A and B are shown apart, each in its own frame.
Chain A
Amino acid sequence: MQEERLTSSTGAEKCRRKIRAVTVLLCSLFYCEQSRETLESLKRESETLKKKLEEERNKLNDVELHQVAEKVEVLSALSIKTRRVLKGHGNKVLCMDWCKDKRRMVSSSQDGKVIVWDAFTLNKEHGVPLPCTWVLACAYAPSGCAIACGGLDNKCSVIPLSLDKNENLAAKKKSVAMHTNYVSGCSFTNSDMQLLTSSGDGTCALWDVESGQLLQSFHGHTADVLSLDLAPSETGNTFVSGGCDMKANVWDMRSGQNIQSFESHESDINCVKYYPSGDAFASASDDATCRFYDLRADREVAVYQKDSIIFGASTCDFSLSGRLLFAGYNDYAINVWDVLKGTRATILFGHENRVSRVRVSPDGTALCSASWDSTLRVSWSFSTGSNYIFVLGKQ
Chain B
Amino acid sequence: MTINTLAKGGCHREQMACFRKMEKVIVAMQDPDMGMKMRNQRLLITVIPHAMTGHDIIAWLTHKYRISEEESLHLGNMLVKYGYIYPLKEPRCLVLRPDESPYRFQVRPLTIYLAKKNIRKQGELMEYEKERYSLLHKRINHTWDFVVMQAREQLRASKQRRKADRIVLECQEQAYWLINRPPPGVNNVLDTGLERPNNFSCRVTLVSDFIIEACRKALGRNRVKSSICLEGFLKYSEQYLNHDPIMQGCLPSNPWISDDTAHWTMNAEIVPVPTRLRVERWSFSFMELLNDAMGRREFMTYLEKEFSAENLYFWQACEDIRHGESSKIVEKVEDIYKNFLAPGAARWVNIDSKTMDKTLEGIKRPHRFVMDDAQMHIYFLMKKDSYPRYLKSDLYKNMLAKAIVPQETKKSVFPFMRRQRHSSPSPAQTATQAAEEEGLAKGAGANSAAGSHF
Contact = CB atoms under 8 A, between A and B. Distances in A.
B427 A103 contact: no
A101 interface: yes
B226 A46 contact: no
Given A215-B368, A279-B233, A244 B256 contact: no
Contacts of B249: 382-383, 386, 388
Interface stretch (B88-96, B102-110, B129-137, B323-331): B323-331
B70 A254 contact: no
A143 B427 contact: yes
B424 to A, nearest CB: 7
Nearest to A44: B208
A10 interface: no
Contacts of A92: 193
A313 to B, nearest CB: 11
Interface string A307-320: 11011100000011
B280 to A, nearest CB: 7
A57 B428 contact: no
B74 A331 contact: yes
B257 A83 contact: yes
B266 to A, nearest CB: 11
Nearest to A84: B256
A99 B421 CA distance: 18
16 contacts: A101-B427, A120-B261, A144-B426, A145-B428, A202-B198, A208-B325, A215-B326, A220-B214, A223-B200, A244-B199, A267-B17, A296-B229, A298-B223, A349-B74, A383-B248, A394-B402
A350 to B, nearest CB: 11
Nearest to B275: A391
A352 B250 contact: no
Interface in A313-362: 319-324, 330-333, 339-340, 347, 349, 352-353, 360
A331 B74 CA distance: 8
Given A144-B431, A276-B240, A395-B405, A298 B218 contact: yes
Contact of A321 (B203, B241, B319, B424): B241
Contacts of B243: 320-321, 364
B242 A333 contact: no
In terms of DSSP, what is the predominant structure of the interface of chain A?
Answer: loop
A275 B235 CA distance: 13
Given A68-B230, A118-B424, A296-B224, A191 B323 contact: yes
Nearest to A151: B194
B13 A121 contact: no
B223 A234 contact: no
A366 interface: yes
Contacts of A65: 230, 233
Contacts of B429: 163
A209 to B, nearest CB: 8
A275 B267 CA distance: 23
A141 to B, nearest CB: 9
Nearest to A277: B236
Categorize the interface residue count of chain B: 35 or more
A22 interface: no
B223 A49 contact: no
B424 A101 contact: yes
A98 interface: no
B260 to A, nearest CB: 11
Interface in B270-314: 276-277, 280, 286-287
A102 B326 contact: no
B199 A223 contact: yes
Interface in B208-223: 208-212, 214-219, 221, 223
B408 interface: yes
A267 B372 CA distance: 38
B246 interface: yes
A58 B226 CA distance: 9
Interface in A59-74: 60-65, 68-69, 71-72
B394 interface: no
B2 to A, nearest CB: 15
Given A52-B219, A62-B226, A268 B78 contact: no
Interface stretch (A12-20, A170-178, A193-201): A193-201
Interface residues of A, number: 139
Residue among A144, A352, A360, A365 with the highest chain B CB neighbour number at 10 A: A365
B230 A63 contact: yes
A278 B18 CA distance: 32
A217 to B, nearest CB: 15
Contacts of B263: 365
Given A61-B226, A120-B423, A125-B426, 20 more contacts: A53-B218, A56-B223, A68-B234, A100-B427, A118-B423, A120-B255, A163-B432, A211-B327, A258-B214, A268-B196, A279-B232, A294-B226, A307-B65, A308-B71, A310-B78, A319-B247, A323-B237, A366-B254, A380-B256, A394-B402
B399 interface: no
Given A220-B210, A352-B187, A364-B244, A288 B237 contact: no
B140 interface: no
Nearest to A257: B217
Nearest to B207: A222
B3 interface: no
Nearest to B212: A46
A190 interface: yes
A389 interface: yes
B379 interface: yes
B14 interface: yes
B245 A363 contact: yes
B246 A60 contact: no
A213 interface: yes
A78 B177 CA distance: 40
B325 A49 contact: no
B25 interface: yes
Nearest to B430: A144
B61 interface: yes
B23 to A, nearest CB: 10
A97 interface: no
A390 B405 contact: yes
B230 A319 contact: no
Contacts of B194: 134, 136, 152, 182
A143 B234 contact: no
A155 interface: no
Interface string B399-423: 0111001001000000000000111
A54 to B, nearest CB: 10
Given A56-B223, A68-B234, A297-B226, A365 B256 contact: yes
Contact of B323 (A38, A194, A202, A224): A194
